Structure 1
Amino acid sequence: MVVMPALPFLNLAFDLTTVAFISALIIFSLLSLCFIFHLRFKSKSLTHLQGFNSIWTVRFLLVLFIFFWAITELLRLPFFRRRYLYRFLPVLSISQQSEFCKLHLVFSLGFFEPAFLVTLLFLLNASTKKQTPNDTSAITFVLITCLPITTFQGLLLYFKPVLDHVPLFFLQTAVVINHGLGTETVLCGYPFLNSAVFAGFGVGYSLWFLVSCWKVLSLVINKGLRARIFTLAVTVLVALPLQIMALGLTLFWKLEEDMYGVVSLVVFFGAFCCAVTGEGILVIKPISDALDAGESRCNLSSCYGGGSQVKTSPVPERTVEKGEGCV
């Protein structure tokens, strides 16, 4: 932690922009949760939706991880901490305030973002399975994949032997901006070693995601579904590497410089694009399609005098079931 003399000119603008997009993401996540629980209740009366609804918990986890990632991103913002957090915790010292920067790194880069990316990958792979994976396998898959990176991030920030043998430059999480008159602000940064750990995860994940998308595209015939999967693949495979590149570029500027704020905003937007696209394509759109198919079946059933007499459907049963992952 280093004390600097002045506040960056564009810092407030970057904070307000980030808060606006985080607010939009939180609202979008709440909308996704409404879709999930609406389908959950609807499937009790429409039996053909029960297969589609069988991994509703995994979709719920995806939205929950994205929601908490958005919340932890607020901890990084001086505007949010100064305006809201410090009102409830007014007696925190500078060193205690800088702890929020460490918590942001552990929970954001260390767990919640990797967790929602891995859950997104699980849903994508589930769409190619003949049998629907259970919730336990999904949770186990996420934890086994994410715990190593979470552990590494925590060790780099809190394990004393690491702190004693690594230069401050590689582990600097915050600087203190002195405004005069006893007013100080803590700016959070992305240390080199923590960024490198996330970059290693991101490269491995991108390759795995590319292979999974290729496998799904080879099995899908419907043009609309192929377009959705292709959109998801392009978004993730562009946004995630862009985020990693931006994390690398933070090495070339100091935390108090305007350009550091620019690249930090790019880091945020990389994860933001993955989150919004994942929720839209893997949660809202497939649930909307399933509900529309359910209403069409109900209309057909009423025309023929009962659901048991209907032998055909606008959407085949297997199409709905196989749509669990992403279609």
Structure 2
Amino acid sequence: MHPITFFTNIIGVVTIVLISIVSILGLICLCHSLNFQLLIKRRRRNYYQANDEQLSYFNGPWLTRITLILVALWWGVGEVLRLTFVNGEGRFISDQTWQANVCKFYIVSNLGFAEPGLFLLLAFLLSAALHNQEVGALNRKWNQRTICAVFMLCSPSLIWEACVVFIGPHIASNDGQTSKVAKYWYSASSVHDGDVACTYPLLSSIFLGTFYTVLTLYVIFVGGQILSLVINKGLRRRIYMLIFATGILLPRAMFLGFSVLPWPGEIVHESLVFVSFLVLMIAAMLGIVILVYFPVAETFEVRNQEHIELQTSHSIAL
């Protein structure tokens, strides 16, 4: 086996394993969120309402958390499909035309929607802590407004990426031939050793870097406000980790920008893309664990504590 093929296969396997871990974590959070939401609805229909407000506080943004998990799963599917490991002769996608179309779909879907949507949802979940009950996550319409806002904010990036990969090559072509420089700016794929390797257009990386810069500044601003209100060391540590998670996203855009320099499919190119994927995965994992997994786990702690208190009161009554 050729060393480059062996290297890309290893990267492909590791990427699939890491995405599987993120997906399993997401599915666990999804099941717990749905289960707890059903529990709260049953409690409201019954006589049991002692600590219902406290449980609702933890579970308020449940629909936003579920949407976040679904977007993360969608992102994972796109990351798997763009791998050279699953594309090629005798593999999942063998036709070169289909491979090129998958690369275009990946740029539009992941860079245009999944990535911005994922971290916008995380940012909104973080900022919900600053709102009061009337306008914050306990408000029944907060989830719907937040999800609609995320879709609206993602629409410019979605349109931009679609224009880059579908319209850009036609504008840059001269007599049906695209120049080498233009390929850096618009191309979503390149043929290497008979297989199609997905690439990242420079215009996409620049737009993504701009988005991550604005997002990081916003999270730092919101995180600073929350830190001024929070005394608990554990919560402060979580805020610092969220700021770190968004701060490392800008280097991801830089790695993607540098990936246009080496030849697509070579070891240097695959390494840059893999490192940028690792950065994104770490940021996404931190966000999901802090803003989805921990709150879901804490809701069950509150529930268990309430159950213990109820048993104690029954024992005293008896």
Within the candidate set 33, 36, 40, 1:36 is matched to 33
- Residues 159 and 25 (structure 1 numbering): CA distance in 2 closer, same or farther, change over 3 Å? same
Partners of 1:295 and 1:9 lie apart in 2 by 50
The match for 1:159 among 156, 167, 177 is 167
Tell me how far apart the structure 2 counterparts of residues 217 and 38 of structure 1 sit (CA, whole Å). Answer: 31
Rate the CA distance shift 1:304–1:79 in 2: closer, same or farther, 3 A.
same
1:17 partner letter: V
Does the alignment pair 1:19 with 2:16?
yes
**Does the alignment pair 1:281 with 2:304?**
no
Aligned match for 2:247, one of 237, 242, 247: 237
**Sequence identity of aligned pairs in percent?**
26
Q: Are 2:199 and 2:260, in contact at CA under 8 Å, matched by a contact in 1?
A: no
Partner of 2:186: 171
**Displacement of 1:268:** 0.6
Higher RCO (C-alpha 8 Å, min separation 6): 1
Q: Could you tell me which amino acid in structure 1 is paired with residue 253 of structure 2?
A: I
Q: Within the alignment, does 1:147 sit opposite 2:155 as a pair?
A: yes
Q: Quickly say closer, same or farther: Cα 1:254–1:8, change in 2 above 3 A.
A: farther
- Per the alignment, do residues 304 and 172 of structure 1 end up closer, same or farther by CA in structure 2, a change over 3 Å counting? same
Alignment partner, residue 298 of structure 1? 307
1:162–1:120: structure 2 CA closer, same or farther, 3 Å change rule? farther
Amino acid at match of 2:70: L
Residue in 1 aligned with 2:68?
A: 62
In 2: Cα distance, 1:243 partner to 1:157 partner: 20
Indicate the SS of the match to 1:175.
Answer: strand
CA contact under 8 A between 1:35 and 1:284: conserved in structure 2?
no
Query: Is 1:223 aligned to residue 223 of structure 2?
Result: no
**In the alignment, structure 1 residue 80 sits paired with structure 2 residue 95:** no
TM-score (norm 1): 0.83
- Count of residue pairs brought into register by the alignment: 292
Q: CA RMSD in A?
A: 2.3
Stretches of structure 1 that go unaligned for 5 or more consecutive residues are 179-183, 310-327
Mean Cα deviation higher: 156-165 or 295-304:
156-165
Q: 1:164 to 1:185 in 2, by over 3 A?
A: closer
Question: Structure 1: how far apart are the matches of 2:312 and 2:226?
Answer: 36
Query: What SS is found at the alignment partner of 1:167?
Result: helix
Q: In structure 2, how many angstroms separate the alpha carbons of the residues matched to 1:135 and 1:254?
A: 44
Deviation (angstroms), 1:9: 5.0
**Counterpart in the other structure of 1:325:** none
Q: How far apart are residue 78 of structure 1 and its match?
A: 2.0
TM-score of the superposed pair, with normalisation by structure 2 = 0.85
The corresponding residue for 1:186 is 196
What is the Cα deviation at residue 96 of structure 1? Answer: 3.0
Q: Per the alignment, in what secondary structure is the counterpart of residue 85 of structure 1? A: coil
| Structure 1 residue 210 displacement after superposition | 1.1
Query: In the aligned structure 1, how far is the partner of 2:267 from the partner of 2:3?
Result: 12
Unaligned runs of 5+ in 2: 44-48, 175-180
Query: Secondary structure of the equivalent of 1:187?
Result: strand
**Structure 1 Cα separation of the partners of residues 171 and 236 of structure 2:** 47
Alpha-carbon displacement from aligned partner over 1:12-55 (angstroms, at most 9, x marks no partner): 12111111111111111111112211221232336232343232
Out of 103, 108, 120, the residue aligned to residue 118 of structure 1 is 120
Partner residue, 1:317? none
Q: Distance in 1 between matches of 2:292 and 2:156?
A: 27
| Aligned-residue offset at 1:84 | 5.6
Distance in 1 between the 2:24 and 2:155 partners?
28
Residue of structure 2 in register with 1:251 after alignment: 260
2:46 is matched with which residue?
Answer: none
